[in-house]
Structure 1
Amino acid sequence: MSQQFKIELDSVRDEARIAYFSMEIALHPAMPTYSGGLGILAGDMIRAAADRELPMVAVTLLHRKGYFYQRLDSGGMQTEDSVEWVVEDFLQEFPQRAAVSIENRTVHLRAWRYEVRGCTGGIVPVYLLDSDLAENAEWDRSLTHWLYGGDQHYRLCQEVVLGMGGVSMLRALGHHGIERFHMNEGHASLLPIALLDEQAERAGHDRVTQEDVEVVRRHCVFTTHTPVPAGHDRFPSELINQVLGRVETEAMKEVLLWDDYLNMTYLALNLSHYVNGVAKKHAEVLRQMFAQYRIDSITNGVHATTWTSPPFQALFDQHVPGWREDNFTLRYVLGIPPQEVWQAHDQAKRQLIDHVNRVTNVGMDAQDLTIGFARRDATYKRGDLIFRDIERLKAISAGVGRFQIIYAGKAHPQDQQGKELIQRIYQARDALRGYVKIAYLPNYDWPLAQLMTAGVDIWLNTPQPPLEASGTSGMKAALNGVPSLSILDGWWIEGCIEGVTGWAIGELPTSVSFEEERSARDAAALYDKLEQVVVPLFYHDRERFIDVMRHTIALNGSFFNTQRMVLQYVTKAYIH
């Protein structure tokens, strides 16, 4: 952080200068205000900002009904229930009110406050917007109930509440000195529209002009997390006109360059002075998708204190005091005696195995090599890649060394292919019975992620390149000395030092490939690496395996964290 900016921050410590907008934020394990990686990343970002005492405020939606609670039957069929939680147990309601216009109706909003406290005493307030007020129409009251629920109409109205309602609420709460508005993914892309309204009014313009656009652009920052075209929200012009109900919509088309569909990613790209992807490879892919825009990269990280298990926290406290305040000092983990590292890992592993056996009755053995795989069940993440050759897996387990696999993950309620993927994993579990123990843990959430990323021996990741924007679960595992065995995509291209921090599956792809042959090659490479390297190392050269564990913490844990990430946002996006 530059000295000039630090002085500026110190002088306005009590006044937010940065506003961070995200459709989902993981704030507390018992608050279902997130669905997965995007929300966890947002929460980790805010926790790191509080650690660094940045003058930040965050805005999201309340999500009274959460994402969903996952149930799995004996065959892996997923069903969903609403998540019930008591808002008042966690949040403070504020008396201020704001409003947005949706379909020419006034939708009133209130804000609930949650304070994120950092390790140095810094606080980042988070405001959760709530439309469930008696003065609103019944349908409008539900707009802040479900995370990623409903159809396009519901989604667009939610994005109006987040982006435009969020700006209105910040003003109502007295936040008038904000210099940077950070949009975490395209769900918040209507935020600059509210800023354009403010700017045009200040300038005395009766409609938005290019001059207004340039002023607003200087205040906006945009981070996109997906290289998948379907991940970028698009809404037809008729729906935009219907929901916004604004006379100036047609005039804005000229300035903001859209025609029959408004792509929310393009909207944010056009109205942001700084845009970034979330890994170096991801930014390369984005520059191909959006060639006319300048797109930088800031690789994701995870909040070290949140994702380091209690046994490793105690170990770091003893040998690397101050690691919470300065994650980079984790490089000194290389000096910790190997046996102490293994003892900390063994404690975390036994906690996980005990949980798995209680929940699934699989009878896993804490002495066996344990592989973890947990993420959203989307087909491009290829959670069943390892099961392409059941007989090969049996041969490795019987001839080289026993291993067991722990799975977790949710499929989106409308993603039938994702649900079928879970069922295929259940079928593989049955086919491998007696050779490889497999457990699928239901309702993957924050506490379960903490258990899994700390307790397995190897973290497996098998996305279809180049569709993994970044990924962060392997970073969480790294903080706990768990090496990754992963396809070279997303963050792992940057984090993999072969045989030092983990192992790559196959080679770095030189071109985009969606062919079936790609999966066949990747599966063969995975089997080879398991059979020839990972399993023998675990059982026959434990000293070398622990050395990989220590390097995983020292090299990847010390760098792929939100402390480093937030400082990069400060220097690249917030002070320029």
Structure 2
Amino acid sequence: MNFRNYSVPYQINENYSKKAAYFSMEFAIHQPLKIYSGGLGFLSGSHLRSAYELRQNMVGIGILWKYGYYDQTRNQDQTLQPAWMEKNTSFLQDTDIKFQILIHDAPVWVKAYYLAPETFNTAPLFLLSTDMPENDYVSQTICHRLYDANVATKIAQFILLGIGGAKLMDEIGFNPDVYHLNEAHGISSAFYLLNKFRSVEKLKEHLVFTTHTPEEAGNEKHDLYLCHKMSYFCGLSIDEVRKLTGTEDDQFNHSLTALRFARKANGVSALHGVVSRDMWGKYPGICDIISITNAQNWKYWADKQLYGFKDSGNDFGFDDRKKYLKKRAFEIIADQTGKIFDPNVLTIVWARRFAGYKRADMLTYDMERFERLLSNIKHPVQIIWAGKPYPFDYPAIGTFNNLVHISKKYKNVAVLIGYELALSKRLKQAADIWLNNPRVPREASGTSGMTAAMNGAVNFSTDDGWIPEFVDHGNNGFVVPKADYDNMHTHEQDEYDLNKTYEILEDQILPLYYDNYDTWRQIMKNGMRDVRFQFDSNRMAHEYYELMYK
């Protein structure tokens, strides 16, 4: 296949004829392609699947990470051991396209690989690599580890995605109408495009930006002089950069620059849109920030048989299928931990990226109540934890390891490793309760509960991210009622959420599951129904064209 004068290789739906290039640091498309860490990747993977289903004129641009994010293995005592294994991706095509970009004032060779649409049913995806013999060793390592801890390497990765991705579009002659940055990692593309379009006004016509981070501290900032030294600004002087981006101190703020260069931006839930407008509104020169709520690809994630039984009103088949899904997932638990879980017991799953504000271990803040919950004979429970902390986030790793040690005392508690797409799907099928308890309002969207609902799990969450748009308490899920969090200290917020979580669990959820299963089943079905259209990524991919690209 010739990649010069490239066009998307399927019939385009005329409603989506505008050419879009979608830049993301990570894509979680399918288990064999391990180039993602968490929610951002799950989102962009679903986005590309929906772009393919809707026949949109879109290509994805990412990086081919040689060692991925990391592989989750265990030490002798079962605690977390990050390992970096080389990944094999023989299903990718070598495009034979090579070109150079400047990093640290030196030319670095970039090679492009291609994921064809029919491989995993996605929009076409181009993946960039510097891991080639023409480069020196340091340049080769740019694409080794996703979110490398070394600051200079990380900036080089941003240059590879942004400048490399924009240059690739010129190399293949795709000429996008819209450059869509999924998070600000690729904003270096704007400096490349400034050389092409010759004005900020012209650049703005082509650039849109999605922000995922609801707190200012979480948005990447790097030393302006270091970025300049690393050729981030495509030949502009520091003074020109300051003038163009409105940077007043010596910190280059990637997200703020994206908001000043983009025609339009969006937050990833209704609540996050409000938080973002509030957070960035004090800065002059930023674009409009709207909301497009994240979603996940129903076709990929949902258990179709469960939906079949739901739609035909076959309760016996529905219950049997859910039990089977639990049983199958519990084989993974038995394999990893030597514990045999019971498919008839209410199973609580907490599984996602480990990060402080997500409070993975919240149920253990009160060990007395935790103990009571686990030893309840009338209303037994099983709890599963899984998820990947960032390999250098030592507090999060400490939380993970502490849960491992706690789990050793109980037959009905398991902590799993290897939380990637395949295990994620299995755990959603295993869950009766999908527990989500971030500190409000720190979760921009938090989409794992969507795919859980697509597999008959009932969401139980604090009222953050997408949850206010979805959960109708006691009807399709359960939610911790919001308190006046703004006027609470962190420990007060934690205490309030903990007490409410236990109250709802003990007084509402457990009695319903064990004493009134018909109502419980109806709550499961309501969740499955409500998530299907509103939170399927086809709706989201359509909204990006309607609200952002046009």
- Which 4+ runs in 1 deviate beyond 4 A? 8-13
Match of residue 491, structure 1, among 463, 466, 475 = 466
The aligned residue for residue 308 of structure 1 is 302
Q: Which amino acid aligns with 1:108?
A: W
Q: Supply the RMSD in Å over aligned alpha carbons.
A: 2.1
Letter in 2 for 1:189: I
For structure 2, list consecutive stretches of 5 or more residues without a partner in the other structure: 1-10
Matching residue within 481, 505, 513 for 1:538: 513
TM-score normalised by L of structure 1: 0.88
- Matching residue of 2:406: 428
Contact 1:72–1:78 (Cα < 8 Å) also in 2: yes
**Pick from 461, 476, 483: which aligns with 1:501?**
476
1:99 aligned onto 2:100: yes
Name the amino acid aligned to 1:164: I
Q: CA deviation at 1:363?
A: 2.0
CA distance, structure 1, for counterparts of residue 12 and residue 486 of structure 2: 44
2:351 matched residue in structure 1? 374
Structure-2 change in CA distance of 1:74 and 1:386 (3 Å): farther
CA distance in structure 2 between the partners assigned to 1:453 and 1:56 by the alignment: 30
After superposition, the C-alpha distances for 1:476-534 in whole angstroms (9 at most, x for unaligned) are 01111211111111111111101111101243555264521211111111111111111
Structure 2 contact 485–493 (Cα < 8 Å) conserved: no
Counterpart of 2:216, as a letter, is P
Q: Taking structure 1 as reference, are residues 157 and 417 closer, same or farther at Cα in structure 2, changes over 3 Å only? A: same
Q: Structure 1 residue 267 and structure 2 residue 257: aligned?
A: yes
Q: In structure 2, what is the equivalent of residue 450 of structure 1?
A: 425
The equivalent residue for 1:219 is 206
1:134: how far off?
Answer: 2.1
> Are the structure 2 counterparts of residues 455 and 270 from structure 1 closer, same or farther at C-alpha, using a change threshold of 3 Å?
same
Q: State the Cα deviation string for residues 205-225 of structure 1 (Å, max 9, x = none).
A: xxxxxxx10111111110011
1:55 Cα deviation after fit = 0.4
In the TM superposition, residue 75 of structure 1 has moved relative to its aligned partner by 4.8
Aligned residue for 1:153? 152
1:339 aligns with 2:316: yes
Question: What is the deviation of 1:153?
Answer: 0.7
CA displacement at 1:227 relative to structure 2 = 1.1
Change (3 A) 1:11 1:482: closer
2:274 paired residue among 273, 284, 301: 284
Give the fraction of aligned pairs with identical amino acids, expressed as a percent.
Answer: 29
1:391 is matched with 368
Q: Are 1:108 and 2:99 counterparts?
A: no
| 2:386 match | 408
Residue of structure 1 in register with 2:133 after alignment = 134
Match of 1:440, as an amino acid? V
**What is the SS of the residue equivalent to 1:498?**
coil
Could you tell me how far apart the structure 2 residues matched to 1:571 and 1:453 are?
31
2:457 is aligned, of 446, 460, 482, to 482
Cα distance change, pair 75–379 in 1 and its aligned pair in 2 (3 A): farther
Partner of 1:325: none
Counterpart contact for 1:278–1:469, Cα < 8 Å: yes
Residue type of the partner of 1:297?
A: S
Distance 1:220 1:239 in 2: 25
> Which deviates further from its counterpart, 273-282 or 123-132?
123-132
Name the CA distance, whole Å, in 2 between partners of 1:60 and 1:513. Answer: 41
Cα distance change on mapping 1:379 and 1:12 into 2, 3 Å: closer
Between the aligned partners of 2:381 and 2:15, the Cα distance in structure 1 is 55
In the other structure, the counterpart of 2:8 is none
Partner of 2:226: 239
1:52 pairs with one of 51, 54, 79: 54
Tell me which moved more, 146-155 or 243-252: 243-252
Q: Is the 8 A contact 1:338 1:547 kept in 2?
A: no
Paired with 2:406 and 2:123, the residues of 1 have a C-alpha distance of: 45
Deviation for aligned residue 1:418: 0.3
Q: Tell me: CA distance 1:248–1:554, structure 2 relative to 1, closer, same or farther (3 Å).
A: same
Q: Is residue 2:548 matched to residue 1:573?
A: yes
Corresponding residue for residue 395 of structure 2: 417
Q: Deviations over 1:392-446 (max 9, x none)?
A: 2333442641001011011111111001111221233245x26xx1100112111
Q: Paired residue for 1:548, among 519, 523, 533? A: 523
Count of aligned pairs between the two proteins: 532
Q: Give the 5 Å matches for 1:56-67.
A: 56-67=58-69
Contact 1:485 1:503 in 2 (8 A): yes
The one-letter amino acid paired with 1:254 is K
- C-alpha distance after superposition, 1:103-158 (max 9, x if no partner): 21111111000023499xx8621000011222222211111111011311111111
Give 1:565's aligned amino acid.
M
1:188 equivalent among 186, 189, 209: 186
Q: Distance in 2 between matches of 1:117 and 1:90?
A: 11
Deviation at 1:76, TM superposition (A): 5.1
Pairwise CA distance, 1:315: 4.5
Q: Which residue of 2 aligns with 1:441?
A: 416
Change (3 A) 1:514 1:107: farther
The answer for the alignment partner of 1:208 in structure 2 is none
Q: In 2, distance between residues paired with 1:355 and 1:440?
A: 11
2:52 and 2:123 in contact (8 A); partners too? yes
Asked if the contact 2:48–2:122 (Cα under 8 Å) also holds between the matched residues in 1, the reply is no
Q: 1:527 to 1:399 in 2, by over 3 A?
A: farther
- Contact (CA 8 Å) 2:355, 2:396: kept in 1 or not? yes
| Structure 1 alignment gaps of length 5 or more | 1-7, 201-211, 320-332
Distance (Å, rounded) in 1 between the aligned partners of 2:414 and 2:372: 20
TM-score of the aligned structures, taking structure 2 as reference length:
0.92
Partner amino acid, structure 1, of 2:294: N
- Per the alignment, in what secondary structure is the counterpart of residue 142 of structure 2? coil
Instruction: Mark the CA change 1:358 to 1:77 in structure 2 (over 3 Å): closer, same or farther.
Output: closer
Instruction: Name the SS of the counterpart of 1:157 in structure 2.
Output: helix
CA shift in 2, pair 1:280/1:413, >3 Å: same
Give the Å deviation of 1:77: 2.9
Task: Work out whether residues 56 and 125 of structure 1, in 8 Å CA contact, stay in contact via their aligned partners in 2.
Answer: yes
Q: What is the match of residue 329 of structure 2? A: 352
**Number of the residue aligned with 1:296:** 290
